[in-house]
Amino acid sequence: MTERPETEVPRRILVALEGDEGAAALLEAVASLAAGLHAELVGLFVEDIALLDAAGLPVARFLPSHAQAHAALDAAMMQRALRISASKAGAALAAAAESRRVKWSFRVVRGTMQDLVLAEVQTHDLLALGASGRAVRRARHAVATRVVAQQAPCSVLLLSTARADERPVTVLYDGSQRALVTGERLARIYGRPLLVVALGESDEAAQALETRACDWIEQQGARGQVRRRAVSEAEEICEALRAQHPGVLVVDPEGELVRRFGLESLLGELRCSVLVLR
Amino acid sequence: MDEFKPLTVDSLCWRCAPEQFTFKSTEDLEDLAEVIGQERAVEAIRFGIGMRRTGYNIYSLGPEGIGKHTVTRKYLEEQAKEEPLPLDWCYVSNFAEPRKPRVLQLNAGRGAVFQADMARFVEDVRHALRSAFESEEYRTRRQVLEEEFKERQEHALEAIEEDAKAHGITLLRTPVGFAFAPVSGGKVISPEVFERLPKEDRERIEADIDELQKRLHRVLHEAPRWVKELRDKIRELSEETAMFAVGHLIQDLRHRYGDLAEILSFLDDVQQDVVRNVETLAGVQEKPGSQGASAGSDDGHPILRRYLVNLLVDNSSLKHAPIVYEDDPNFDRLRGRIEHRAEMGALLTDLHMIRSGALHRANGGYLIVDARKVLTRPMAWEGLKQALLIREIRIEPLAHALGLFTTVTLEPEPIPLDVKVVLVGDRMIYYLLAELDPEFSRLFKVAADFDERIDRNDENNLFYARLVATLVRKEELKAFDSGAVARVLEHSARHAGDSEKLSTHIEKLADVLREADYWAGKQGRGMVGAGDVQRAVDSQIHRLDRVRELIQEEIRRGTIVIDTDGATMGQINGLSVMQLGGSAFGRPSRITARVRLGRGEVVDIEREVELGGPLHSKGVLILAGYLSAQYASDHPLSLSASLVFEQSYGGVEGDSASSAELYALLSAISEVPIKQCFAVTGSVNQHGEVQAIGGVNEKIEGFFDLCAARGLSGEHGVLIPDTNVKHLMLHSRVVDAVREGKFHIYPVKRIDQGIEILTGVPAGARGPDGRFPEGTVNQKVEAKLVELARRRRAFGRAAEREDGE
């Protein structure tokens, strides 16, 4: 049997939270991963300083999603709301981790998401972030998320709240061996099928990648499907990946294709969970 | 004095001569196909079966063990073979009113097929829906709808955010809702910085935020409508997918059951329900290792179980109309029941827990029920009657029928009832029901009255022999030779209590046959002989003979005083029968009479202490009538007599001792002693005629055994009514003693005959002068009564004088 290529196995996973909405699903997914990797889970709840500043303004108002009218907003009220959110997120983390017997810790910090996470992640092997589907969050935080994803020294798992069910762990394969290895391991941990999408700039290139992926899967004695497609622009990559309905997409930013078209263009268009490798 | 002759041996017992039979053993006899001696009952049963009108149900009445069940069933089976198979009945979901499951009817055997078809449909529908809803096409179409919704929402919010950005404002989502804040350099302005802004800038920002908030409000106001639109579109997509996925499955079933409108209607409902619940059904997970949902299993998803069929009555295995015998006819077992399962402390049920009752299984055929059982089960009789009256079966819990509980439960649609019910029971129940229950006569118009005796004649003797042969073969017994059969017939006559009759008590007969077979086997014989039958009979008696022997022993030891020799005034041996369980035996009792001056009353001491029954009291009162008419027609009866059963502690009933009491009374009045070597039985009327009584054989044998134990002198004997002679079937030990002149049985027609035998003194008949001959019993009685009347008159005058003075 061929020896598996060496990849670093994460031992400490940092999960960054900034609200309780969707936190439970996010934490369940990360806790499963941590259990599969026998890794420690570190929760970090960020009280966004921007929200506190906004609440302190004399023009501050808030409009609940299901309310008829605006209401006055002040800093104290915002602090209480953030404290409640943090408390819920901490409880969700504890429940998810303890049910899987995963070692865990949880802290609440105040500042900006981007700065705090980038500072904290230096001592971790994997960063897990929620990638909200809400437009407003996406608009404001997507930038921060993408910055973090690109600047973080470790791998980053951007977890979507979109339903994944039994959808496959999908590998964007443009020649990156790391992506293949990590994808296969992730599929085993989550108990989901492995799907390798071999993308080349020409049919020949895609076919060659497909052959290599098939060979590798066979050598590993693993189970998985390989599909190929020739792409010539970022939108085509996104379209090819969306068509496969990935559950988790494994992307290597050092891969040839991703480097050419840019990681940010992918992250901005895909709604599924994405594991960005380092 | 006339000489009264005792009965000859020939009159004491009918002996069946084996020579009259042409067969050697029961092996030579054919089975008896017909029923003997029950022509009336058979005719009634045939009429009841043939009469297809409401209320012509049958009550088979007669004693226990006479073969009512066997005969009734035999004729029901004959009729049932000619009748068509009844329908199968199923319960299915009523989607409009889930509490009221619908009932469907199918031809026999088709119910099971329909049940299997729907079970397969449930299995198929899960796979079909899962395949359809897991298909890429469905998922993509659904995702497109969801994306469309998200984009719509996002675009609306992004437009506001872009506008806000143009005014130096950002849109934030906070834990409590959306908020706008001014930004500078990509960061929210702090309150301190904001305070330092020129007033006009602050006012402008405030105005911009106000405007943006209004726009945001409008967008958010629209959001629920968009969500509803999305849900509607997804539902439409799901329904379209489901219709396509299950449409062909339903269509297949429609083809199969195209001739049954009710099933087609049910299938329409199923299809609509699948579509309505498609979201839930598409998510149904099959349990590991399960073989899928099946009728009666608990594995199925609650929604899927709604499509399964509860086959309440499956007639697929029947060959003809059903005949159902319900051994335990309680309310539920007759009318069906709704079972429950305990789940988390609550009792739950559904249509698959509806269970059929005997009425369901017998529907279209016949139901046989024991009357006593159905009457003793709570509400069972009322439940049966109600079903027959309204001609439908409603399944409801007993507590509901009684009005004890009003908990919500299923109300299955009633099933039309077409059944012929046969109640089997004893006569007393029939008469009581007819008297006390007005609905009984409306519902059970046919009485099949079984006779417990048939005439003994050559033809019936042979029939009976064939009946024995039939039972021998049915019970797989050794063959009975002709002598054994003859002995069985004799025993049957004894059981009937009449030498001219045979008992139709099949169960008792079968007992004797089985036991005779046992004794023959013990003796290593391959064929049962007369001796084996006799031993079986004797053993039966012996097993139950303890009390009889005990009483006989106490008489012999003198604890119970009974004289069997000498002569005594005002004392006689009466005879009674004790019935204990399956045993009946005769018991001699001393009856004594005392007389004195009085007002003409005969005091029955048994009645005075409430130990005498009404029939006994009636017999005693008749005595006073006899005395008055016979001896005191022209003067008042001026005696006071008392009669008593000595050493009787358990009560006396019946008038069979009234002749003995009269003899004792005549002896006491006339002061003529009665020979104690005699015992007497028989009732008497006011004219002095002796009338028939029951248990004559047991009574004679009871006195005979006592006398035999003390030593038969040749004087001992029993006086019986002449009309009881035909009932004599005495044991051989009595017959033998009579043959040897050691014991005598006198048939008596009138009291005068009896008193002569008992006293040895002529009774005496009135001569032309109206007087009895001197020295006769009657003369002495009359003289004594005249004397008593005179003394009473004298006593009355003396008393008047004393009053006057």
Q: Is A61 on the interface with B (CB under 8 A)?
A: yes
Q: Is B230 on the interface with A (CB under 8 A)?
A: no
pLDDT value at position A146?
63
Interface-testing mutation among B145, B152, B172, B226, with chain A (most A C-beta atoms within 10 A): B172
What residues of chain B lie within 8 A of the CB of A61, using their CB?
179-180, 209, 213
**Distance between CA atoms of A181 and A191, rounded to whole angstroms?**
15
What residues of chain B lie within 8 A of the CB of A138, using their CB?
154
A63 with B220: Cβ contact below 8 A: yes
What is the interface pTM, i.e. ipTM, of the complex? 0.76
What are the backbone dihedrals phi and psi of residue B445, each rounded to the nearest 5 degrees, phi first? Answer: -80, -15
Helices (H), B366-501: 371-376, 380-390, 398-401, 427-436, 438-443, 458-474, 482-496
If you ran DSSP here, which 8-state letter would residue A9 be given?
P
What residues of chain A lie within 8 A of the CB of B154, using their CB?
135, 138
Q: Is B577 left (phi over 0), alpha (psi -120 to 50) or beta?
A: beta
- Reduced to 3 states (helix: H, G, I; strand: E, B; else coil), residue B292 is coil
Query: Would you please indicate which residues of B are annotated as catalytic (active-site) residues?
Result: 656, 699
Q: Which two tokens stand for residue B250?
A: 């339903």
**Distance between CA atoms of B721 and B575, rounded to whole angstroms?**
13
B297-324 residue pLDDT tens: 444 577 888 999 999 999 999 989 999 9
Residues for chain B: how many in total? Answer: 805
**Distance between CA atoms of B360 and B335, rounded to whole angstroms?**
7
Helices (H), chain A: 23-37, 49-56, 75-99, 113-120, 135-151, 177-190, 203-220, 234-242, 256-261, 263-269
* A209, A200 contact by CB (below 8 A): yes
Q: Is A54 on the interface with B (CB under 8 A)?
A: yes
10-residue stretch averages of pLDDT, chain A, 278 residues long: 51 80 77 85 88 84 72 83 89 91 91 82 83 43 63 81 70 89 86 88 89 89 87 84 84 84 75 82
Candidate from B175, B187, B213 with C-beta closest to A61: B213
Q: Is A1 on the interface with B (CB under 8 A)?
A: no
Q: Is B170 exposed, middle or buried (0-12, 13-18, 19+ CB in 10 A)?
A: buried
| Nearest Cα residue to A276 out of A110, A145, A168, A167 | A145
B190 with A53: Cβ contact below 8 A: yes
* B595, B668 contact by CB (below 8 A): yes
Q: Is B188 on the interface with A (CB under 8 A)?
A: yes
- A113-120 and A135-151 helices cross at what angle (nearest 10)? 30
Binding-face residues of A in 213-252 toward B, CB within 8 A: 245
Q: Which residue of A has its CA nearest to B181?
A: A54
B359-413 residue pLDDT tens: 999 999 999 999 999 999 999 999 999 999 999 999 988 888 787 777 778 899 9
Candidate from B150, B176, B191 with C-beta closest to A57: B191
Q: Is B157 on the interface with A (CB under 8 A)?
A: yes
Q: Which residue of A has its CA nearest to B169?
A: A54
Q: Is B341 exposed, middle or buried (0-12, 13-18, 19+ CB in 10 A)?
A: exposed
pLDDT value at position B608?
67
**Distance between CA atoms of B46 and B53, rounded to whole angstroms?**
14
Contacts of A239 (CB under 8 A, 6+ apart): none
Candidate from B206, B216, B220 with C-beta closest to A59: B206
Query: Residue B616, Cβ neighbours under 10 Å: how many?
Result: 24
Q: Which residue of A has its CA nearest to B196?
A: A57
If you ran DSSP here, which 8-state letter would residue B652 be given?
B
A56 with B191: Cβ contact below 8 A: yes
pLDDT value at position B779?
92
What residues of chain A lie within 8 A of the CB of B203, using their CB?
none
What residues of chain B lie within 8 A of the CB of A136, using their CB?
157, 161, 171-173, 178
pLDDT value at position A131?
60
Candidate from A67, A78, A134 with C-beta closest to B174: A78
**Distance between CA atoms of B543 and B530, rounded to whole angstroms?**
20
Place of tokens 């302005």: B189
B173 with A133: Cβ contact below 8 A: no
Candidate from A53, A63, A85 with C-beta closest to B217: A63
Contacts of B450 (CB under 8 A, 6+ apart): B38, B41, B60, B61, B62, B63, B66, B67, B68, B71, B504
Q: Is B213 on the interface with A (CB under 8 A)?
A: yes
Q: Is A110 on the interface with B (CB under 8 A)?
A: no
Chains A & B: contacts with CB separation below 8 Å:
115
10-residue stretch averages of pLDDT, chain B, 805 residues long: 80 90 91 81 92 91 87 91 92 93 94 94 87 82 84 83 87 83 83 86 88 86 87 88 88 93 94 85 52 42 87 92 94 93 86 94 95 94 94 89 79 94 94 93 93 88 92 93 94 90 89 95 93 93 88 88 92 90 86 86 69 72 82 79 81 80 92 95 91 93 93 94 94 93 95 94 89 91 88 80 73
* B677, B564 contact by CB (below 8 A): yes
Q: Is A133 on the interface with B (CB under 8 A)?
A: yes
| Nearest Cα residue to A223 out of A145, A146, A263, A168 | A168
Q: Which long-range contacts (CB under 8 A, 24 or more apart) does B545-553 make?
A: B545/B583, B545/B585, B547/B578, B547/B580, B547/B583, B547/B585, B548/B578, B548/B583, B548/B585, B548/B587, B548/B702, B551/B578, B551/B587, B552/B705, B552/B706, B552/B709
| Nearest Cα residue to B640 out of B609, B611, B669 | B669
Residues for chain A: how many in total? Answer: 278
**Distance between CA atoms of B168 and B154, rounded to whole angstroms?**
20
B172 with A51: Cβ contact below 8 A: yes
Chain A closest CA to B143's CA: distance in Å? 9
Q: Is B771 on the interface with A (CB under 8 A)?
A: no
Q: Which residue of A has its CA nearest to B174?
A: A51
